[in-house]
């Protein structure tokens, strides 16, 4: 039964795999036997991560560029699993939020994730092979709260949650499962300014029943599970990895 949790010889594309949660997913899934392809806007960082993972590839990709997405996915021979991990945030009060920042967050977090999912699914359908897509959502996509104003991020991640449901239903006839994970605050560079403030760290810990900051590996483990045959009857689901944050 343990083999159900492995990903031996699966081709796994990790979008945003050069750092943080994406990098953790790439390394974790490689350890389960996957062939990893890392896509990231920072091509040098993607290559650096790839060089430490046997039999992996990397490509530079700006997911705000639809044509570039098509070009990169055309270079990929096949795909069994897609992990949509690219993301940005602009933490601003709603009354002060400017349109350019709003558009950036929407384009990267929502539109870019959709276009990558679409490109991966097209290859899966053409090859007539089953597949799995896991999106990185957020607890902020399931809650209007938090420790600071973050309306554009919350909106984009809420969209990911329902996009996950919609694609899961539409692509089920092709045997393509679509899920997402909703991490809490994770110890990555993405939230480094928050983690550098002891008061903010204490607030996060107090808001989390398990009383701690999540590690990238905690999220990677959930992504790997959803991508494995052990989760073969799970689709359209968003799995919080939040230490109980949303349970309160």
Which residue reads 């929502």 in tokens? 110
Record the tokens describing residue 109, joined without a space.
Answer: 């977090």
Task: Give me the helices (H) in the chain, please.
Answer: 20-31, 43-51, 66-75, 99-105, 113-127, 151-171, 192-195, 198-207, 216-227
**Could you tell me which residues are beta bridge partners of residue 241?**
183
Please provide residue 233's backbone torsions phi and psi, each rounded to the nearest 5 degrees.
-110, 20
Q: Distance of alpha carbon 223 from its chain centroid, rounded? A: 8
- For 145, other C-beta atoms within 10 Å of its C-beta total 12
Catalytic residue annotation: 153
Q: Other C-beta atoms within 10 Å of 142: how many?
A: 17
């Amino acid at each position: 039964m343990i083999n159900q949790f492995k990903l031996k010889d699966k081709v796994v594309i990790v979008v945003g795999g050069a750092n943080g949660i994406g990098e953790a997913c790439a390394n974790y899934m490689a350890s389960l036997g996957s062939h990893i392809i890392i896509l990231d806007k920072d091509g040098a960082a993607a290559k650096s991560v790839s060089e430490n993972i046997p039999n992996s590839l990397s490509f530079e990709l700006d997911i705000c560029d639809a044509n570039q997405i098509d070009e990169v996915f055309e270079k990929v021979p096949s795909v069994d699993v897609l992990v949509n991990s690219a993301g940005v945030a602009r933490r601003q009060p709603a009354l002060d939020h400017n349109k350019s920042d709003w558009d950036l967050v929407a384009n990267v977090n929502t539109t870019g994730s959709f276009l990558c999912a679409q490109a991966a699914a097209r290859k899966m359908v053409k090859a007539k092979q089953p597949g799995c897509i896991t999106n990185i959502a957020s607890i902020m996509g399931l809650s209007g709260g938090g420790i600071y104003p973050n309306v554009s991020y919350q909106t984009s991640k809420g969209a990911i949650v329902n996009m996950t449901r919609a694609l899961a239903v539409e692509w089920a006839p092709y045997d393509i499962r679509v899920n997402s994970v909703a991490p809490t605050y994770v110890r990555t560079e993405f939230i480094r300014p928050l983690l550098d403030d002891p008061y903010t760290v204490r607030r996060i810990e107090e808001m989390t029943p398990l009383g701690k900051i999540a590690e990238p590996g905690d999220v990677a483990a959930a992504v790997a599970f959803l991508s494995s045959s052990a989760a073969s009857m799970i689709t359209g689901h968003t799995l919080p990895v939040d230490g109980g944050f949303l349970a309160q």
